[in-house]
Every structure is written in C-alpha cells, then in structure tokens.
Amino acid sequence: MSEKLQQLKERLGEVNDLARASDILSWDQQVNMPAHGNQARGQQMATLNKIAQEKFIADEVGRLIADLKQEYDGADPDSDEDALIRVASRNYDKAICVPPEFVSEQALVSAKAFEAWVEARSKSDFSIFRPHLEKVVELVQKYVSFFPPGNHPYDTLLDKYEPGMKTEEVKAIFDGLRPKQVKLLKAIAASKQVKADFLHKKYNEKKLVDFGVGVITKFGYDWSRGRQDKAPHPFQTTFSVDDVRITTRYEEDNPLATMFSTLHESGHAMYEQGSNPAYERTPLSGGTSLAVHESQSRMWENLVGRSLPFWEHFYPSFKKTFPAQLDGVSLKTFYKAINKVEPSFIRVNADEATYNMHIMLRLELEIGMVEGTIAVKDLPEIWNAKMEEYLGVTPPDDARGVLQDIHWSYGAIGYFSTYALGNLVSAQLWEKIRKDIRDLDDQISRGNFDGLLAWLRKNIHQYGHKYDPQVLVQKVTGSRITPEPYVRYLTKKYGEIYGL
C-alpha cells in the first residue's frame, strides 16, 4: 500500500472512531440513559460530530484524496483501493459543502427534538413536537442550500441514504408499483378474510423475546459480536464489525411484533457482521445503502420469517410455548393470520401488501416539506387525509399517526423511501437465490439457514460499501432496482392465502 493511502486510512480511521463513539452515545441514550441525562448527552454528541466533520474536511484529507486519485486511476472496479478512494472522494466532496458549526447545531436540535418527540408520542400531542420539527425542517432546507442546485432539492437528501438515487427514479419506481399494489389490495379486500384474533391475546413478553433470540441464533446472528436490548424503537447499530447490536420492544396491542422486529433487526445486523473485516475504520465498512440494508432485514423478517416453510419448522415449538393462545390453531391458520392483510396505522407493523403505501405517504410529505409546499403545522391533518386516501383508515390519534416514527426527530428526512426500495430489492435477490439454492424451502423447513446466510455473505455482505447499491444489485441480479419481482412475490403469496 502506498504511504499516502496509509496516511489517508489513518485519518479516515480517526473520523470513523469519532462517528462510532457518537453512535455508542446514541445507543446508550436510547437504551440506558437516565431521564435527565439528555442535555449533556446532546452536547457530547454534537462535539463528537463536529470534530469528526472538522477532521474529515481537513485540507490535508482533500490533498491526499486528490493525489491518490492520480496514483490509483480507478481502472480496476474490483480493487479495494480504488473503491476506497472513490467512496472517500465522494463523501469528501459532499462533506466540504457543510460547515462544521451546522453539523453541531443539527446535533443539538436533534437531541432536543428527540426528547420532545418521546414526550409528544407518549402524550399523543403533536403540538409538543411541532416547534422542534419546524426547526428540523428548517435545518434540512439549509442543508440542501449548501449544495449546488440539482434536479430536485430532495435529491440531496436521498443521496445521503441511497448514494446515486434520484427523486425522479424513486417516483418512477413507485408509480410503477402503486397501481399494482392497489389492485392487489382491492382484490384481497373483496375476498374472504382470514382469522387472526388469537394473535392479539396476551403473550408473555419474556417468552416472545426468548423465542426471537432462539430463531436468530439459528439464522446465524453472532452473539459473541452483538447483543439485544429493549428500547422505545427497534433499531440496529454498529460499533465495529465485532460489536453489532439490536434492540426490540414489547407492544401490548401487537405482541408478536416483539419477535418479528428481532428477526428484522437481525437481518440488518448479520449484514454488518458479514462486512469484510479489512474494511474496518474505513468508509467501505458496513452496508452500502439503506435500501440494500433493508433488503436484508425484510428478507429475514418476511421472505423467511413469514413464510410457510419457516413455520413448518418453528410452529410446533411456538405452539408449545403458547399453548393457551394457540389452542386449536393449525399451522395453516397461523400462517395466514401472520400474513393477514389489513390496512392499519403503524408502519412497522404493516403487512407486506400495505407496507409500501405507508412509505409513499411519507415520501410525499417529505418532498412537500422540503419544497416548502407543506407546512409542519398541517402535517397531522394531511397525514390523516392521505391515510384515508391510500389505506381507507384514519388514525385515532397522532401517536398512531404522524408521531409514530422516530426519523424526523433526528433530522432523517429522505430516509423513508429506502424502506420500500428495500422490499423491492429483497424480492429481486430472492428470485436469484431460489435459482442458486434449489432446495431453499426444504432447507428452511428443516430450520437450516446456513446456505442462505452463506449466499448472502458471499454475494452481498462481504462487499460492505465497495459497490454502489445499483451496481451491486445489477451485479447480483442482472438488473437495476425494479418493482416486478416484488409484485410477483406478493401476487403469488397472497393469491394462495386469499384464493385470488
């Protein structure tokens, strides 16, 4: 390795350490921190983020990158060195547009907004969150203004989470998807409904958590390099390839979500645990984009965890764990129930057929907020109107409406569409996996996930950020992100369940 590359890696390593440290403080804030700790914590994270930003945009980093671009000409797309320089260069070009004071201000505003959001959601009172969200949106608009005007101001935000993705391309994908999902939903609504009342009985929290732990242990989540805790919102976070954590929560109304969210987060975590260790402390470590990340979590949660073969293996022991709740419930009845399609309020608990509709709603609101055509004060009303339009239901309160998600509280606008894109990628990968592993269903029904995880490790996980998301998806499946495989998947699955 050239001396300059070594120097660049050392500098990027420091920046990475600071960012990971901030992530640890954030995890602690959500999992452990006592009630009054928030103000100081916000200040500490603001300092770490500001210094990370200062260190990253230092002139010397720019000089090293420029020199290295001469030295490594990028001719070999499979070279780790070329990939590192390409990703570092792109990140650098973006970062120098943003003043460190802004990063610090945004962290402080986020810390307060998060606190307000927690209170607002618990009291279901949007007015508590509103002034904070207004400030958050103002800062997001300011962030966009730092960049040269692109095709759409929202492109700048999308690019943070899905490098290279454009607002127009997402809209086109969603426009292709929407009519087909609406058609499917109508057909389902017109058919005989499935029974699922037994899912809403009381389930013991600890037993559910233990069951989820048992499942992801079989999946291959490595506990010697991770842990699970309780938090108000389920999430996955990475402190290093050797410390990849997940959280879960218990919901009275939807007890099985405790287990399914564990499956979901384990998908994110196994992606991070599978990243090439040689990429540690560089921008190549971890997942390449949120959509590809979400393809992993949704795959383990839904394509695996809500499939019939999966429950052929696990249902006997699940039923033994909850004999009273599942008395007289057959495997088929249980399988249909956990896949029941029902327009509902909460995105994270939405079934596979309605989920993307929640995302489309958020995308429209975000674009409106960024463009300035939707005011924060009008959000609850617009949210509820769109829920009625898309899903035919109106949230009874803001906690189950506009306040349900954490994302906006910490300034993550531009993030949501990656969830729907992730669904699409998961199905796209799944079609390829089924070709490569002919007896996949059979393996899953025997509780054997080794082949699946090995395939993902080899084709997706190991590459970290090396390939851009669309490049990776193309490389593995032969096509850019497209809605067709997901539509085929939904049509087949729900066709069988609802006898369409």
Name the residues annotated as catalytic. Answer: 265
**Minimum separation from the CB atom of position 119 to a copy of itself (A):** 15
The Cα–Cα gap between 486 and 492 comes to 10
Contacts of 171 (CB under 8 A, 6+ apart): none
Contact yes or no for 195/332 (Cβ under 8 A):
no
Kindly state the smallest distance separating residue 267's Cβ from a copy of itself, in Å: 18
Chain residues in the site for a copy of itself (CB under 8 A) = 13-14, 17-18, 20-22, 24-25, 28, 32-37, 39-41, 43-44, 46-48, 51, 223-227, 229, 239-243, 245, 280-281
The number of angstroms, rounded, from the C-alpha of 131 to the middle of its chain's C-alpha atoms is 26
Using the minimum distance from each CB to a copy of itself, give the nearer residue, 280 or 342: 280
Closest to 369 measured CA to CA, from 112, 98, 134:
134
Residue 43 CB, shortest distance to a copy of itself, in Å, is: 6
> Please, which residue, 26 or 384, has the CB nearer to a copy of itself?
26
Strand partners, 246: 228, 236
Beta-carbon contacts of 126 under 8 Å, excluding residues fewer than 6 positions away, are 120, 379, 380, 398, 402, 403
The C-alpha atoms of residue 407 and residue 363 are separated, in whole angstroms, by 13
Q: What is the H or E stretch that residue 374 is in?
A: none
CA distance 369 to 347: 20
Which residue is it, tokens 């939807």? 254
Of 93, 149, 110, whose CA–CA distance to 25 is shortest?
Answer: 110
CB of 69 vs a copy of itself, minimal distance in Å: 26
By beta-carbon proximity to a copy of itself, the closer residue of 54 and 397 is: 54
DSSP letters for 345-360: S-GGG--TTTHHHHHH
* Least gap, CB of 462 to a copy of itself (angstroms): 18
Residue (23 or 251) nearer to a copy of itself, CB: 23
CB 222 within 8 A of CB 273: yes
